[in-house]
Structure 1
Amino acid sequence: MQPFAAPFLVTVGTDRNGVSVRVTADASTTVVEMSVHGRWSQQLGNQVADSLRRCLAGPCEAIVIDVSDIGDLHGVSLPYWSAAVREARLGPAPVQVALCCRPATMLDYRLRHQDGPPLTVFRTMTQARIAIAGGVSRADRLQARLAPRAASVRAARDLVIRACDGWRLAGTRDDAALIMSELATNAVDHAGTEFVVTVIRRGSRLHLAVRDGDSRYPLMGAADDGIRVPLGERGRGLRLVHAAAEVWGAIPADNGKVVWATMPAQA
């Protein structure tokens, strides 16, 4: 499904014409918000598709796409949004996609009257957030907020062990605990802020996430084995994550970032 390999790093950039696709996630990347700015073009559509696929690779359950600020007088971008909703629904773990569109526009009309399965369209992001939050499952999820100190790494690891024991995932526990230890160590050593750790079981997958208050992504460099990971001590830790996880990546969050990893939930 994905045309690229891990790590799935969601980046944000604005070109000289003010065109951009901005993405933010909650602490566990369960809910992702994407806002699209600028005049509609095939290039902007490709940026949307790229960002969407990187988000779908992670543990998100719902994506809200704000299309209120795109220049699309005749609503020609409709096929892109229909395809985005279809791709999210048909993935291994179906993801709900909702759109926020400025009312009384041609795009709004076409979104609400397009052929095929109806699209979920809201008039404001506030309405969308309230509706999406009510539909996100809180079952099979453990979460903790931890201080930036060494003892928190052990606490994050213990949270994973407790979750795997409770869900009877003995075949996943050791690798999951190792991954969480490395992600938490990075948050302590390099972000130096409070961080939130989350463990989610969703279908046949176990998702681990660490949200810290440092928005900077690790500097990337080429490792001896060809894996592009940060250099230095952090690079060694992420090489372990790369080896143990099925997929992993990072996504912006409000005033920070979330680094996540996914693996099979093995009993």
Structure 2
Amino acid sequence: MQEQPPYLFDPGDEHFSVTSDPDGAVIDVAIRGTWAAALHPAVSRTLRKCLAAHPAGIVVDLSRVEDPGPVGAPTWLGAVRATAVAVPAARIAVCLPPGSPPSRAGDLPVHPTLAAAHAALTGDCAPGDIVRQSLPPAPSSPGAARDLIGAACQDWNMSALLLPARAVVSELVTNAVEHAGTAIDVAVSRRGTSLHIAVRDRSPELPRILALAPVQAGLPLDERGRGLRVVHADSTAWGALPTTGGKLVWATVRDRAGQPRRW
């Protein structure tokens, strides 16, 4: 079954933990426990959610997976192929501790530590493809984030994305100001022909999918629901990821070429 936005992760999953760096450029997927064939669909679904965020790379931590076969190897090789054909393409790095059986690695891009895996992915990142701004939890912050989008679209010649990207970042920052009330970090990345917007705050509470339930006749839509509906309508994909000390809410904005907004 194809996943649909918003792409959210269960922080209480016993087999997986998913976290993001502050920009949403590299996503860590840690898998633990004894490998079984029943885990394959869950791994594939988790990786599809990660790829929907258009990360530059994904680190898969297998250091706590018991896989003596190794029966999980086809799953990890499939993950490598999936990241390679993603648009835009992503890279993958696998963390296996020193001394792991060579048969577990196969043709995987294996590294002995998480730090080494991250270094392998981030070494090729072009610094000109991302702009960042730190903002306070203040009423003026959504406007500052819109200005950041405007400058990025001008510098990158992406004027077709200006209006939807400004609407999306405004709502994401407004939600962070009103519901997290913490310091906010905004990162805007150029990924192929799309813009990736990441808004990080220091609250661990992820957006609630219930806010996107159909509006019932005669009942007003609260401001939180309205903001997420704007994000849903003006982005091609969006979701949230836990980060160290908080969360990151991201959205991808792409030229719809006359296609209607999604409500």
* TM-score normalised by length of structure 1: 0.89
8 Å CA contact 2:28, 2:60 repeated in 1: yes
Structure-1 separation of matches of 2:63 and 2:150: 43
On the 8 A contact 1:37/1:70 being kept in 2, the answer is yes
Structure 1, gaps ≥5 residues long: none
SS, match of residue 128 in structure 2: coil
Describe the SS at the equivalent of 2:120.
helix
Residue 36 of structure 1, aligned match among 31, 36, 39: 31
Match of 2:156 among 163, 167, 170: 167
1: distance between equivalents of 2:54 and 2:149?
16
Q: Deviations over 1:164-205 (max 9, x none)?
A: 112222211011101100000001000111111111111111
| 2:4 counterpart residue number | 5
Residues 21 and 37 in structure 1, CA contact (< 8 A), matched pair in contact too: yes
> Post-superposition shift, 1:43?
2.7
Pair 1:194 & 2:183 matched = yes
Deviations 1:76-110 (A, max 9, x none): 1100100011111111111100101123233xx12
Q: Count matched residues.
A: 252
How far did residue 247 of structure 1 move?
Answer: 1.1
CA distance in 2, matches of 1:96, 1:265: 24
Instruction: Give the SS at the match of 2:58.
Output: strand
Deviation at 1:137, TM superposition (A): 2.5
Deviation track 1:43-68 (CA, whole Å, cap 9, x = no partner) reads: 32222211111010013101111101
Which of 237, 240, 263 is the equivalent residue of 1:247? 237
Whole-angstrom distance in 1 between the partners of 2:17 and 2:126: 25
1:98 corresponds to: 93
Give the distance between the partners of 2:226 and 2:139, measured in 1 at CA.
18
The partner residue of 1:256 within 243, 246, 256 is 246
Structure 1 position 110 matched with structure 2 position 103: yes
Residue 198 (structure 2) pairs with residue 209 (structure 1): yes
Number of the residue aligned with 2:169 = 180
Q: Give the secondary-structure state (helix, strand or coil) at the position aligned to 1:150.
A: coil
TM-score (norm 2): 0.90
